[in-house]
Amino acid sequence: IKPIKMKMKKVLFLFAFALFAIGLNAQSNVIKANPIGLAFGNFNATYEKVLNDASSVLVKGSYRYSLFGIDVSTFGIGAGYRFYITNKNKPAPGGFYVQPQASFSGGSVGDSGASYTSFGVGAELGYQWVWDSGFVLDLGLGPNYTVLSGEVDDFGRDSAGGILPSATLAIGYAF
């Protein structure tokens, strides 16, 4: 009976080790940011959660403190769903993707009394590289329909809408 218990312990140990090793390789979370944005007064971060081999969801946040040398205070939030087109050859979070998305932002311009809010919906096509080290590079481009509403103390409130480009350039880490 002792040899059987020893064999069972070894099998259970190997099974547990295999599950642990698979878990280390499976990258189901990504955190990333646009490094160029920081140079222009915009801090942003994105969290991506892989749902399965072909899809993931994203949550984004941003804070801008400068715009072309002007003091501003703006914030933004957004969400998206990614469908990875190349999931048979490269499971999520890597490969070509299509991403419908929505965003909201608002803020003010220094002490001018000017403020704005915006809401956008759109889509991006892109490619995300994920290296074995966990390093991530994400590039995407697409249209975004945006409705912008602003107010300036001396001029009142006005709004406009139209299609604007949406672009992603981000580096990060997958774990």
Considering the chain, what percentage of its residues have pLDDT values greater than 70?
85
Distance (Å, whole) CA 129 – CA 152: 43
Q: Which residues contact 38 (CB under 8 A, 6 or more apart)?
A: none
- Answer yes or no: is pLDDT of 173 > 80: yes
Examine the pLDDT at 1 and tell me if it is beyond 80.
Answer: no
User: What's the whole-model pTM score?
Assistant: 0.79
CATH numbers and ranges of domains, the chain: 27-174 (2.40.160.20)
For the chain, what is the mean pLDDT? 87
Burial environment of residue 22 by CB neighbours within 10 A (0 to 12, 13 to 18, 19 or more)? exposed
Q: Residue 20: is its pLDDT beyond 50?
A: no
Model confidence over 35-84: pLDDT tens digits?
998 888 899 999 999 999 999 999 999 999 887 778 889 999 999 999 99
Taken in order 104, 65, 33, 141, the sign of the CA dihedral is positive
